[in-house]
Structure 1
Amino acid sequence: MKNSILYCLAAASMVLSFFFEKNPAANSASPLATTQQASLLSTLFSGEEEPRLLTASDSVAYDKVAHRLGIEASYTEDKSLLETVVSWLGTPYRYGSNSKSGTDCSGFVTRVFKEVYGVTLQRSSRSMFTSVKHVQKDEMQTGDLVFFRRGPGQPIYHVGIYLKDGKFAHSACGGGVMVSSLNQAYYSRNFYAAGRVER
């Protein structure tokens, strides 16, 4: 029994030393550092398979969520946005809906922006496009909207939320809420513009 306790304490000590080595010093200056902190030990011993919180003090959980989104964590991304997008992953596609039982692309975007920023967006991708500040593709930031159309002169038919590293979250007809890459042939060919929502 005594040996078991010693082994547990040694393991906890190793994990904590790893955590403090991995946690960038720059985190203290990031907006994430001001958020409610989650204890690494409480995550380890809570029994949860997938931690819900994503904080600067818990780089392991942060990296895990970033990995699920297919992005490389830099600890400067919007914590609430990433958490919310992860919570919607796998929601089936349903035209005209905007709930976790099913949502279309604009429904997903409007719900995420309402949940994360308290901002009410227009319901259609075309209406959203007219109400955002347009930004260049190489100036996109996490949380910008990405719009797609099927060729010159065609109307906008799809919208998603830009994450980073060329990845964006959206609700697609063939799979529901997922993360895709702007470098995929289909999305690269149909990408039209990016826009920033005033928050």
Structure 2
Amino acid sequence: MKHSILYCLAAASLALSFFFDYAPDSSLTAGSAPIAATASLFPDFSGDNPTVATTRDSLAYHYYSQTLGLTLAYNEDQNLLRTVTDWIGTPYRYGSNSKKGTDCSGFVTRVFQEVYGVTLQRSSRSMFERVKRVAKDEIQSGDLVFFRRGPGQPIYHVGIYLQDGKFAHSACNGGVMISSLNQPYYHRNYYAAGRVAAN
């Protein structure tokens, strides 16, 4: 029902926009004011107009901010934000890396392939062996964050840092989601961060 109402409103808006569109008559002399102004309920997102492009970007950033729970400066990597957003809610499935289900390392490998064109190792431990270590207070968007259950224990989990202390990952108790490094569980089990070198 909700979608039907939206479709009807969109159709009505489209129909009304035809009544308000105006093509100036070529016979009008220069400097003459047009009789009617062009008006449309649908914005032109052709990309030719920098103002329109900025508006489109602002709307996209606002959407990612709301969806991912981040405070954005509107200059972040939109491709990363869009890709992570597309994966949110994917169920957890051990050993898989598709939108039907994915584990933590599967999610990370797919995002890095889609966003950066980088092929990562399939396990979190193998990933850790090939990254450049980064101090916790120097983590940047796109860095990997690794977790283990105590000193001497193997790495068992990996996620992609976004910002504000938040990271995207596939958790066995909820699938792909955004969590905070400040949550007690992740704060306690945080091990290290690493930066992936470009291919």
Range class of TM-score, shorter chain: 0.7 to 0.9
Distance 1:103 1:192, change over 3 A: same
Q: In terms of Rg, which structure is larger?
A: 2
In structure 2, distance between residues paired with 1:56 and 1:172: 35
Q: What amino acid is aligned across from residue 164 of structure 2 in structure 1?
A: D
1:68 is aligned to: 67
User: 1:56 Cα shift?
Assistant: 4.7
4+ residue runs over 4 A deviation: 8-12, 36-42
The structure-2 alpha-carbon separation of the partners of 1:175 and 1:135, relative to structure 1 and needing over 3 Å to count, comes to: same
Q: Which amino acid aligns with 2:93?
A: R
User: Helix, strand or coil for the counterpart of 1:152?
Assistant: coil
Whether the 8 Å CA contact 1:38–1:57 is kept in 2: the answer is: no
Give the Cα–Cα distance (whole angstroms) in 1 for the partners of residues 180 and 98 of structure 2. 24
Question: How far 1:66 sits from its partner (Å)?
Answer: 1.8
d(CA) in 2 for partners of 1:90 and 1:166?
20
- 1:85 is matched with 84
Partners of 1:161 and 1:169 within 8 A in 2: yes
Q: Kindly tell me the number of residue pairs found equivalent between the two proteins.
A: 164
Corresponding residue for 1:106?
Answer: 105
CA displacement 1:28-73 (0-9 Å, x = unmatched): xxxxxxxx9498999xxxxxxxxxxxx7542122111122111111
1:21 is aligned to none
Distance of aligned partners of 1:38 and 1:152 in 2 relative to their CA distance in 1, 3 Å threshold: farther
Output the amino acid matched with 2:174: G
**Cα RMSD for the two superposed structures:** 2.9
Contact 1:85–1:112 (8 Å) recurs in 2: yes
Structure 2: tracts of 5 or more residues without a match: 1-15, 21-35
The equivalent of 2:145 in structure 1 is: 146
Cα 1:138–1:98 shift into 2, 3 Å: same
More helix per residue = 1
Would the alpha carbon gap of residues 100 and 10 (structure 1) be closer, same or farther in structure 2, given more than 3 Å must change?
closer
Task: Output the CA distance in 2 between the equivalents of 1:38 and 1:179.
Answer: 35
Name the CA shift for 1:189/1:162 in 2 (closer, same or farther; >3 Å).
same
Query: Which residues in structure 2 correspond to 1:117-132 (within 5 Å)?
Result: 117-132=116-131
> Whole-Å Cα distance in 2 between the matches of residues 167 and 38 of structure 1?
35
Describe the shift of the 1:120–1:128 C-alpha distance in structure 2 as closer, same or farther (beyond 3 A). Answer: same
- 1:180 corresponding residue in structure 2: 179
Q: Which amino acid aligns with 1:196?
A: R
Identity of aligned residues (%): 66
Does residue 151 of structure 2 align to residue 191 of structure 1? no
Unaligned runs of 5+ in 1: 16-35, 43-54
- For the residues of structure 2 that align with 1:110 and 1:156, how far apart are their CA atoms? 16
Deviation (angstroms), 1:77: 1.2
Contact 1:56 1:75 in 2 (8 A): no
